Amino acid sequence: MARKLITFLGTSKYDTCNYELNGVKANPTEYIQEAIIDLYNKRNTSIDEIHVLLTKEARENNWDGDNKLNKKLMNYPKLNIHAHDISSCQDIDIIWQLFDTIINIMEKNDQIVFDITHSFRYQPMLALLSIHFARITKDVQVDGIYYGVYDSKVEVKDFPIIDLTSFVDLQDWITNVYAFIKTGRVESLTEWIQNREKAISREERKSTIDLKYVRQLAKNWQELASALQTNRSMDLSSTAEKAKESIEAIKNVMLRPAFTPLNELLLNVESEIKPIADEDPIYSGVAAIEWCFKHGLYQQSYTMADELMISAICLKHHMQINNREDRKWAAKILNTAIKESQRINGSHGEVEDEDRKIVDDLQDYPELLNILHTMKDNRNDINHAGWRNNPLSSKVLEEHFISMFETYKTQLLNYYGKR
């Protein structure tokens, strides 16, 4: 692991400048690279290696010779100096070669400082993409991305160095929000929000109001996602309500720039969470099932759909949905109705006389019973990991559920009868 400065060297002649970063001034120099190294030294943080990307023209004009960058860098005895020749051509093969060059510079767990001051045309974008790729594949850490302002026309050469490291945050938002929206997995997004909150608190040495609400939002999102992924049906309404309240609360808070992408994300998420927060467990359950299968959680979808019908029978007949014996009773009623619906001769199963009316009531929904028969069979197929005769393929299991859900939803709510 090393702290590496990766930088592009330009071809122009540069005047001596006074660069400044976060209120700290570097020693006067013609080269932004030397200024960055000096600024790191002044905060007692050394750069171990510098990797200079340079074309033939940049080598001739600013690298080789007295008072050129290579010679100046030799004044830092602990600094390992590496020059990488790159082409000034613009075709796509050259671009990919440069991508490979940058990626190969970065090694596992490196801390990267990237200077894009003299990058040209597509190079700044390529630099950011290369960093993002290396962060995922090599777990590199980004210590800073910098751009040194320079204007040859002004007389006083006092210039700021602009810190662009927050662009890394933007890339993280894109990656983590995409994962959340497409798969429903919230772990990486939650972990990232929590890490950013901790980093900001350390830097500012205090917690501010927006961080409090962002932290609570991340916690509540994680609890809801965990309840959905582990089929905690009894917790869905309450955890969704907490997540919904967190969204409402954060709308009224002035967010710092690092967290403003939350506003766009919340527009998509709130509409999905709100139905799950319904106080009626059947309507909440239907919304949860829909969320699960749309995010690829088919095992959870099958299990919830089967159990939700049992809950509906319990509630319709004033039984407790969280009482084991009541659920066993409702499951027996449902299984009897399904078996009878599958018999051509119309024979009846064995149930208590007082339960016969409930079974007959279910028989008024033959399409629902047929769907539940298929869902139960498919649920067993999944839960037994396919170890049975004639197991279905994963594709068929998914297609079955998608094709059955709308009818299941309509019929279930008709049977339930409330609203």
**Dist. CA 339–CA 330, nearest whole Å:** 14
Task: Domains for the chain: give ranges and CATH numbers.
Answer: 3-164 (3.40.50.10640), 165-277 (no CATH), 281-419 (no CATH)
One-letter identity of residue 173: W
* pLDDT reading at 31 higher than 90: yes
**DSSP per residue, 138-186:** S--EEEEEEEE---TT-SS-EEEEEE-THHHHHHHHHHHHHHHHHH---
Note the pLDDT of residue 347.
Answer: 57
* pLDDT reading at 349 higher than 70: no
**Dist. CA 190–CA 229, nearest whole Å:** 15
Note the pLDDT of residue 154.
Answer: 87
Q: pTM score, two decimals?
A: 0.76
Query: What radius of gyration do the chain's Cα atoms show?
Result: 31
Residue pLDDT, tens place only, 139-180: 999 999 999 998 888 888 899 999 998 888 778 877 877 777
Residue 18 contacts residue 151 (beta carbons within 8 Å): no
- The mean per-residue pLDDT over the stretch 173-201 comes to 76
Note the pLDDT of residue 146.
Answer: 95
Note the pLDDT of residue 215.
Answer: 81
- The mean per-residue pLDDT over the stretch 57-62 comes to 93
- The mean per-residue pLDDT over the stretch 109-137 comes to 91
Q: Which pairs count as long-range contacts for 265-269, CB under 8 Å and 24+ apart, including other chains? A: 265/177, 265/180, 265/181, 268/181, 269/180
Note the pLDDT of residue 72.
Answer: 92
Residue pLDDT, tens place only, 264-287: 777 778 888 899 999 999 999 999
One-letter identity of residue 157: K
Q: Which residue in this structure is represented by tokens 């045309």? A: 121
Note the pLDDT of residue 175.
Answer: 81
